[in-house]
Structure 1
Amino acid sequence: MMSEIKSALKKNETVVKLVRLFNKLLNDRISKNISGKNNKVLFSPLSGVIKCHITINGNNNEILVEKGVTLNNLKIFIEGNNCLIHLRKNVQFKDGGTLWVEDNHGKISIGDDTVIHHAELAVTENNSKITIGSGCLFAYGIDIRCGDSHSIIDLGNKERINHAKDVVIGNKVWMAAHTTVLKGVTILDNCVVATKAIVTRSPGLSNVILGGIPAKVIKKNISWAHERM
């Protein structure tokens, strides 16, 4: 049945013209510099792009943008193989930012209805990922990274000691301006990260405010809302 529907749509001149128009508008707003094999950049026809620059160097990478996503001046960079960047329904990047993935099998995933004003997200090692839940609110100057990009070596045994660790941010997390989340951190649902906080360890609690350098729990048993009440 699905194949018959797709075949019928392809024969419908109006549908074909609309698809061509959408692709033209999308290409006008998205600049691409892609090298390698089997790389996929899939934008829903119901997404909105003001300006987006995509660079891919590698093979079998995928960028998936679902319906309702709005991108304004976002830069996406993949250097490696078998990486995935997935922006789920209604994600918004309002004022730019960067999604950066290096090496192989890296992943950035952002959940439904998350609004980001400006953020830099960096996945910089094999098999590492940043996962952000649904309904989050990020201000500007946000920095999230799951690796250090360079090596720190133990002089005793000559082994590297600073391997990457995943970052997980739960649902409905509010990150205020100029906050940083470093490797290995999990922030649970309904938390607030105060302005200029640097989160280096997982608090292990939901519904808390985190603040300071390094960040610690400064208030428990809270929730938050977009509206000023």
Structure 2
Amino acid sequence: MNAKHLMVKNFLDKAKSLSKLRCDMKKNNSINIDSTAKVSGLISVRRGDRNKVEIQEHSFMTGKIVFDGNDNVFQMSTSCKSTGKVLIKGNKSRVTIGDCSSFQSIYLLCEEAAYVTIGKYCMFSRGIEVRTSDSHSVVDVETGARINISAPISVGDHVWVGAGAFISKGVSLTK
């Protein structure tokens, strides 16, 4: 097979692996999916600019990634598997998933300039919710100051999360 035929074959293989993917990225947003990755579902920007999606080689994802804000990043490293929904709201939030991590069924909410970092070789079972925010304000009645600020979530390498778990803002899990 010559180089031209190989290029056409690679393009057709890539188109086949993304045939069930719907993108609504709007202008000034970017998506980079490796040709060996298989992605289906929806990648969407409700509003915002400079949002980025990167899905690296040999990864598999089905579900939704939705952005609502500016300068947010979703990065899935090599050989990951994920089923579920990721919602990234606000500005400068980041979700990073390490090599060979898997998610059976997850809802992940990252907002208010927080981040979610998941290490390498992690396994998340079904029905898991991960949230960097309460998605509403709780205010001190005396000062008027908000007291439930968003906080990052960090999951180290080789962590297993069981069915039905809820991981809330500020949590750090290690093996």
How does the TM-score come out when normalised to structure 1?
Answer: 0.72
Q: Which runs of 4+ in 1 moved over 3 A?
A: none
Question: Residue 117 of structure 1 aligns to a residue in which SS?
Answer: strand
What one-letter code is carried by the residue in structure 2 that aligns with 1:65? I
Q: Which amino acid aligns with 1:66?
A: Q
Taking the aligned partners of 2:9 and 2:32, their CA distance within structure 1 comes to 17
Matched, 1:78 2:64: no
1:175-214 to structure 2, matched below 5 A, reads 175-188=161-174, 190=175
Number of the residue aligned with 1:61 = 51
- Stretches of structure 1 lacking an aligned partner (at least 5 in a row): 1-11, 191-229
Indicate how the Cα distance of structure 1 residues 58 and 15 shifts in structure 2: closer, same or farther if over 3 A, else same: farther
% identical aligned pairs? 24
| Deviation string, structure 1 residues 168-216 (Cα, Å, up to 9, x no partner) | 000111111000111001111x2xxxxxxxxxxxxxxxxxxxxxxxxxx
Q: 2:94 aligns with which of 107, 116, 122?
A: 107
Distance in 2 of aligned mates of 1:118 and 1:152: 29
More strand by share: 2
> Where does residue 128 of structure 1 map in the other structure?
114
Contact 1:124 1:148 in 2 (8 A): no
Following superposition, the deviation at residue 52 of structure 1 comes to 2.0
Pairing 1:16–2:7 present: yes
Distance 1:106 1:98 in 2: 16
Within-5 A mapping of 1:140-151: 140-151=126-137
Quick check: which has more Rg, 1 or 2? 1
Whether 1:29 and 2:20 are equivalent positions in the alignment is: yes
Q: Does 1:92 align with 2:78?
A: no
CA contact (8 A) 2:17 2:37 kept: no
**Is the Cα–Cα contact under 8 Å of residues 144 and 180 in structure 1 kept in the other structure?**
yes
How far apart are 1:32 and its partner, in Å? 1.2
Higher relative contact order (CA 8 A, sep 6+): 2
CA RMSD of aligned residues (A): 1.5
How far 1:104 sits from its partner (Å)?
Answer: 0.6
CA distance in 1, matches of 2:69, 2:19: 26
* Aligned residues between the structures: 173
State how far apart, in whole Å, the 1-side matches of 2:136 and 2:124 are.
27
Deviation of residue 34 (structure 1)?
2.2
